[in-house]
Structure 1
Amino acid sequence: MKATIWHNPNCGTSRKTLAILENLSEVELTVVEYLKDPPTREKLVQLYLDAGISPKDGLRLRGTDAAARGLPDADIDTILDAMVADPILIERPLVETEKGVRLCRPQDKVLEIL
């Protein structure tokens, strides 16, 4: 099974999710450090649709200036534009497999798509 994780190595939950994936021999893993290689707007839309969540649900509030920028109350297009311009606003980790996408908070949510 192929899996892609949008990973932030500075995030404990992201590291724990990555460890789960790395410990499964049947997983062919692609790791994308999204702060260095951010997803496109189109990819973000696809990930959130496949995860069954809105971009608002995928907005990282903790440790960002999202609230000060009014993003929690903004429309979806504004949120997506902000995420593309400043990927620190993307809540992590997102994991994609052929079974779907999950925002893996907590990290055990990854098991739903393996």
Structure 2
Amino acid sequence: MDRQQILDHVRNMILTMNSGLFPDDVNEFASMTYDLGMDSLYLESLISRLKEEVADIEFTPWYIKASRRGHDTVGSLVDYIDEHMTASRATGASKSEPAASERQGEQQVEAA
């Protein structure tokens, strides 16, 4: 899932949760609390759904940072998800590489 897909998914989730918003209201620069009127219950519900649907990411660090003076933008949440999904993909790739080299070593030992 690339950043644009994550943004579209988060926007759709916010619009689904709050039918009083217009699609143009939910942009990358919109503060979820100030501009979109989301309270802590809405944010917790959104984060719970994101954990289930997008990725099993620990959102506490984002939430702590975002609670400071309007840093709770849609874009900051999307960036946080994108960074952690990219990191988990990179970690997954690096974990599989040693396993393949270990298998090659085992095959060489068996052949000898």
TM-score, shorter chain, exceeding 0.5: no
Q: Which has the larger radius of gyration?
A: 2
Structure with greater helix percent? 2
Structure with greater strand percent? 1
TM-score using structure 1 length: 0.30
